[in-house]
Structure 1
């Protein structure tokens, strides 16, 4: 079983209603001008402009719809101007048919090219954001990812999970920038994390290794904000490098797991030794890691999404997958479905069916919460 990801994009042959309407409108405008203006000049030959506009964006089926509409208008103009069957009218129809055929060929070629690019993007997505089981090393994990670009599969947000001898380690991060540059930076950070997660003894050592791997090797002034959470039975350790503080979810009110100190993002060459945030988890408690797309999403009035309030509306015993779906529903209600940044959510809930053996010895140790 693999985790469900919320990919929201349009396929290359999806309907683009505004573009279709524009194509029909252009075709209608040419026909109206030809009908209303004096007999000379004849403008019906310009009806091919509508199909030309359509083939720039629409698939072959919808481009053919515009072509058929242009042909019907050309025939109608022939009857209106008493030119039907004349040599001049037949030549104009021939030009329109040839032009329409060319636009259909261009629409078909463009669609094939876009499908090929989409295949490459899917391969890149699987290479960068690898799927994994819903339960990893005794931790239930749910993932949701939305790209800011509806036509894109991969962006600058990154996440990964590693089941190591030191515990289950989870990375969440946000690469600076947009487009291909951020994707390259995200891939470099994931590669460094996968190299360090299985060998470094502590979560802080993992982020230190990632920082060393990225410093001086990223394009321009790129960097990565990141947080690594490590889970070992009922213990969790969070190391934060300039990223949004994870949220602790459970029976009580959600709370931010603020870092003890402030550490710069990865890759700037300013990386210090972060002090980890350590805590002991009770049965049913979970840790939510997320990116800017959640914390900085704004409504029409410019008000940012309240992460703690949103988490507080998710029932405590909700399954991780369902919990993230409910959180995204609240996000969509807040923004009206619009988004300006990628959204990545990782919810981690250790499976603690029985209370820890040392739970009777007293409350959590100082500094653990």
Structure 2
């Protein structure tokens, strides 16, 4: 029986050999926004083909003000661009995976310490900077109160996204994803809990969608027509009177009309009062609902651990891709192992072929070639 997980899929001019994606994972290890040798190690290991057909670079911020921490990646200078190009060129030299870049802006959740150091807001002595948001509402008690963005600020952020997209093209990325979730800037505009504006960017759902839709349209216009562009959403705030999956479906339909190729359906992180019922595949229902109602390809993410679980999600029409983060860190050869379990094949980088089961018949006597 053919495995859905290992059925190739095409988005515009990009064809992926399987449906597994390495999720963008913040590394908190950049210098002035620029990647370094750590990123060669981190992204290089995933590029060999063992984790998935598409490897996403961590959330990379379109200006320095939009970083979560001082150690976050950025794509707003020639130095940032050159450093990341070095990483991606290395990955392409030795690997077989395709590469995508997630672009974002932290908004009111910026100017913090890295999570390993507590994740709290920076003090002035630690290098704190002014944060911005749709409204002057802090993320939580004790956090920086952001400055409410003017329309000039909004136009500048859109321009910064466009500039970052053009840098991504020069680097040679195959795909770009815009971060509209996890409580960051675009999500702050979307949710009525964080957006209390009285102008054309606040109030009604239509107005709260406006910033994200304008930003996406500008970014899509700057990206090559034959390359896909997607969006990561927090499909629910997990809070009463917050952003909902029904709102996400409305947004997904609007994004699709603007040329969005997929929705990566995550959730939460807008407010610390959220109540998330963590369980295996707990976000899959969001992916399924958006896929069905908006008729757009979706990515399922969140506590997806086994090959059989991933296969059931995809074969059941609940998503078009599965995305792994901590699971990819735990097992950077996840898709190779899944191929053995499901009787399929996954790409191997040339220098890794000696470990392929077909070259170790004594260790893999039951290795099955795909039909």
Higher relative contact order (CA 8 A, sep 6+): 2
Q: Please identify which structure carries the higher helix content.
A: 1
With normalisation by structure 2, the TM-score equals 0.29
With normalisation by structure 1, the TM-score equals 0.29
User: Which of 1 and 2 has greater Rg?
Assistant: 1
